[in-house]
Amino acid sequence: MTTLHQRDEGTSAVLESRHYHERAKARIAGGVNSNVRLSGSPICFESGTGSRLTDVDGNVYVDYALGMGPNILGHAPPVVTAEVARTLAIGQLFAGQHTLELELANEFCSCIKSAELVRFGLSGSEMVQAAMRVARAYTERPEVIKFEGHYHGWFDNILINQTPPVAAQGNPIPRPHHLQSAGQSPHASEDIVVLPWNDAEAVEQYVGANASRIAAIITEPIMFNTGGILPRPGYLEHLRRVTKAHNIVLIFDEVITGFRVALGGAQELYSIRPDLSLFAKALGAGFPIAALAGRRDIMELFASGGVNHSGTYNANIVSLSGALAALRELSANGQAAYRRINAVGKALMDGIVAAGRRHGTDLQVSGVPSAFHTCFAGHPIHDYVTYSTTDQKRLGRFLAALLECGVRPTSRGTWFVSSTHTDDDMKSTLDAVDSALRQVS
């Protein structure tokens, strides 16, 4: 593996990337096209194949960012790209239907057990909007409960309290709104109630007193937008019980967990049947597609035309064929892809934990083998508040040192594993972890 260390002293290993970034900033706001990419090293990539990325300076990286999760079959997976290439010639958009839509819907619904009806779109952000809208229409109630530390897309009405300040005296319940962006309308999120996550009592109390106003609870089933925090045993079951008891729509936001933690998503892993759930990322294995699915009686509100869900590019041929090929590959050979992903991911998690111990650090590894998170903290982490006191500076240095060694988790410390990560990747990754820990310990 080429590592960034192999450059002569005094020369930058990412010189071309830096030059590109300067030129790009003169034409593209910030030189990037998603604010998430403003953080971390502004590397310009040339290409990706399997588990590896090559940048414009010729550096090669073992990639665990995987496009922020989607590339579960690695970069440019031949079974997917060949299928997309094959369908390019039939056209892209018809402002009408194509038989691939039903083919994908059948495949999708055979994977996701709670999916009685489905709608396809392009991004997780818009499917969150559709989910909240249809839940409000179904229940004829206004409020939606979201949780502190969770992210459900960048639209005004939901982009709140992902990274709120933590008050010394503890934050009140429900949490005061913290808008995440300048220019956001404070009115758009008036009907959103923010509660701490993994806190069954907070939900019990708020819902107990306000049930008649609450349309839905939306949750990431595993909190990946703050650390990689698992639900406490019984927590998701508790959400299911409380929502059922009060006719509140339970929405799982499986944009990250869907088709990643299991073919049937986190709802399969935890054996919970949400009323609605939404998917993106791994569903398209790199091609842009998202889905909202769930109970027939709720989803039927789209069918009647009473609840609007629209989009010029929804169910375009490229997205459909990419997703269909991806789902077939993920299901093939008794789900061999997941066996590989979970084996590699578990070995990495175990190896990183062992390296942390060897170096006497407080490195923590949490999550599941297909998606896990590394951070530095001497205390247990179970929610946003306990995560907020992890050592972010040391994490930043650790991630920078890994990048220097040619290993690339996401800039916030999440590692996504693909079916194409090799034993060699694993070995060089654990060597890099060892070297990075030596530098930051």
Ligand X SMILES: Cc1ncc(COP(=O)(O)O)c(C=O)c1O
Catalytic residues: 151, 253, 281
Q: Determine the Cα–Cα distance for residues 323 and 80; give it in Å rounded to an integer.
A: 8
- 296-303 and 124-139 are packed helices; what angle lies between their axes, rounded to 10 degrees? 100
Shortest distance in whole angstroms from residue 257 CB to ligand X:
8
Number of residues that bind ligand X (CB under 6 A): 13
Shortest distance in whole angstroms from residue 278 CB to ligand X:
7
Tokens of 282: 């791994």
Shortest distance in whole angstroms from residue 158 CB to ligand X:
9
Question: Contact region for ligand X (CB under 6 A) — 122-130, 229-237, 405-413, 423-431?
Answer: 122-130
Binders in 194-253 for ligand X, by CB under 6 A: 220, 225, 253
Question: Contact region for ligand X (CB under 6 A) — 55-63, 121-129, 308-316, 367-375?
Answer: 121-129
Q: What is the distance in angstroms between the CA of the first residue and the CA of the last residue of the chain?
A: 25
423 class by beta-carbon count within 10 Å (0-12 exposed, 13-18 middle, 19+ buried)? exposed
Q: State yes or no: residue 123 binds ligand X (CB under 6 A).
A: yes
If we measure between CA atoms, which residue out of 385, 387, 389 comes closest to residue 202?
Answer: 385
Question: Contact region for ligand X (CB under 6 A) — 56-64, 94-102, 135-143, 148-156?
Answer: 148-156
Q: State yes or no: residue 260 binds ligand X (CB under 6 A).
A: no
- Give 215 or 290: the residue with its C-beta nearer to ligand X: 290
The residue nearest ligand X at its CB is: 124
Shortest distance in whole angstroms from residue 152 CB to ligand X:
5
Residue pair 196/385 in contact by the 8 Å Cβ criterion: yes
Q: Which of 151, 372, 415, 416: binder of ligand X (CB under 6 A)?
A: 151
Dihedrals phi, psi of 430, to nearest 5 degrees: -70, -35
Q: State yes or no: residue 323 binds ligand X (CB under 6 A).
A: no
- Give 108 or 151: the residue with its C-beta nearer to ligand X: 151
SS3 91: coil
Q: State yes or no: residue 255 binds ligand X (CB under 6 A).
A: yes
Q: How many residues does the chain have?
A: 441
Amino acid identity, residue 311?
A: G
Question: Contact region for ligand X (CB under 6 A) — 1-9, 12-20, 147-155, 413-421?
Answer: 147-155
Within a 10 A sphere around the Cβ of 90, how many other Cβ atoms? Answer: 11
If we measure between CA atoms, which residue out of 79, 102, 25 comes closest to residue 315?
Answer: 102
Q: State yes or no: residue 280 binds ligand X (CB under 6 A).
A: yes
x/- mask, ligand X, residues 62-81, rule CB under 6 A, reads --------------------
Shortest distance in whole angstroms from residue 162 CB to ligand X:
10
Q: Determine the Cα–Cα distance for residues 32 and 15; give it in Å rounded to an integer.
A: 17
Residue pair 256/220 in contact by the 8 Å Cβ criterion: yes
Within a 10 A sphere around the Cβ of 118, how many other Cβ atoms? Answer: 18
- Give 153 or 286: the residue with its C-beta nearer to ligand X: 153
Q: State yes or no: residue 256 binds ligand X (CB under 6 A).
A: yes
Q: Determine if residue 215 is left, alpha or beta; phi over 0 gives left, psi from -120 to 50 gives alpha, anything else beta.
A: alpha
Shortest distance in whole angstroms from residue 167 CB to ligand X:
25
Q: Which of 3, 51, 125, 429: binder of ligand X (CB under 6 A)?
A: 125
x/- mask, ligand X, residues 153-192, rule CB under 6 A, reads x---------------------------------------
If we measure between CA atoms, which residue out of 35, 75, 41, 22 comes closest to residue 401?
Answer: 41
Q: Which are the contacts of 95, defined by CB distance < 8 A and separation ≥ 6?
A: none
Shortest distance in whole angstroms from residue 48 CB to ligand X:
19
Q: State yes or no: residue 124 binds ligand X (CB under 6 A).
A: yes
Residue pair 143/215 in contact by the 8 Å Cβ criterion: yes
Q: Which of 119, 141, 146, 152: binder of ligand X (CB under 6 A)?
A: 152
Amino acid identity, residue 108?
A: F
Q: What is the DSSP letter of 117?
A: E
Contact residues toward ligand X (CB under 6 A) are 123-125, 128, 151-153, 220, 225, 253, 255-256, 280
